[in-house]
Amino acid sequence: MYAKNMPSRNRIKSYVENGYYHLYNRGVDKRTIFQDKNDCIVFLSLLKQYLSPKEELKNFVGFNLRLNRLMRTNMYGEIELLSFALMPNHFHLLIKQIEKNGIAKFMIRLCTSYSMYFNKKYERIGHLFQDRYKGALVLDDSYLLHLSRYIHLNPKKTIKGKINFQEFTSYPYYLGLKKASWLKPDFVLEYFSNKEIGNYNGSYKKFVEEYKEGFTSEEVLGDLALDIGEED
């Protein structure tokens, strides 16, 4: 990746191998897609099902699926999930594509499986998501770091009904409070072994929690300056 390059946004017709992507999708007419805490748990169970190492699938009990079906739909080694956040009517994923067409296959499986679950539970028919998911190719390291922070701050103080959406992000995994083989935070965290990133003294937690909206990129990231784009 190269400094100063901004992401190629939204409609991506092809995904490059070893490319990093911000992917997002939201409910049709901006409707709520996570109506209770169990909906969030099911969505994370799908991430676990598709992205856990194959040798761990024997221990998976999420949907009582046969092992051979789990093996067939599992995508470990084809993509890697770096960060995620769930919101009432949308979700964010930061993903590295390893094999060609990995992202396309993964997103079809994820969105289709969750839509089937949701429609059955709430006795509805039709599309759950407003459109095909959107994506942005991340072309430089500084934007990748900011994007992980943006994703983790996205649910800040967002509580809908009985759901605290701060619980349903990858942030606790970045802080070492949780661990999962299906999530890969190390790529981002490795940058913070270099204590010259802004004034954050090697602390990812400080990098996230001391971010001040309205500051210029230079004030926030120092030499790792970037432009902050608006989500469409």
Name the residue ranges covered by the structural domains of the chain.
19-221
pLDDT, residue 174, reads: 96
Q: What superfamily in CATH does domain 19-221 come from?
A: Transposase IS200-like (3.30.70.1290)
pLDDT, residue 131, reads: 78
Contacts of 214 (CB under 8 A, 6+ apart): none
pLDDT, residue 175, reads: 94
Higher pLDDT, 12 or 28: 28
pLDDT, residue 143, reads: 87
State how far the Cα of 18 lies from the Cα of 96, in Å rounded to an integer. Answer: 6
* First-to-final CA distance of the chain: 24
- At residue 128, the 3 state secondary structure works out as coil
CA distances in angstroms from 219 to 110, 120, 141, 143, 150, listed in the order given: 38, 49, 17, 15, 16
CA distances in angstroms from 231 to 22, 68, 74, 135, 211, listed in the order given: 10, 39, 30, 10, 18
State how far the Cα of 94 lies from the Cα of 137, in Å rounded to an integer. Answer: 10
pLDDT range class, residue 119, cuts 50, 70, 90: very high
Higher pLDDT, 66 or 153: 153
pLDDT digits (tens, 9 = 90+) for 188-229: 998 887 655 665 667 899 889 887 664 444 433 333 333 323
User: Is the predicted pLDDT of residue 14 greater than 60, yes or no?
Assistant: no
- At residue 222, the 3 state secondary structure works out as coil
Residue 197: CB atoms within 10 A of its CB come to 20
State how far the Cα of 106 lies from the Cα of 73, in Å rounded to an integer. Answer: 9
State how far the Cα of 210 lies from the Cα of 207, in Å rounded to an integer. Answer: 6
- At residue 211, the 3 state secondary structure works out as coil
* CB 69 within 8 Å of CB 93: no
In 48-182 the beta strands, taken as DSSP E runs, fall at 79-87, 90-97, 134-138, 159-160, 163-164
DSSP 5: P
Closest CA to 88 of 135, 169, 27, 141: 27
Q: What percent of the chain has pLDDT over 90?
A: 51
pTM to 2 decimals?
0.81
* CB 103 within 8 Å of CB 23: yes
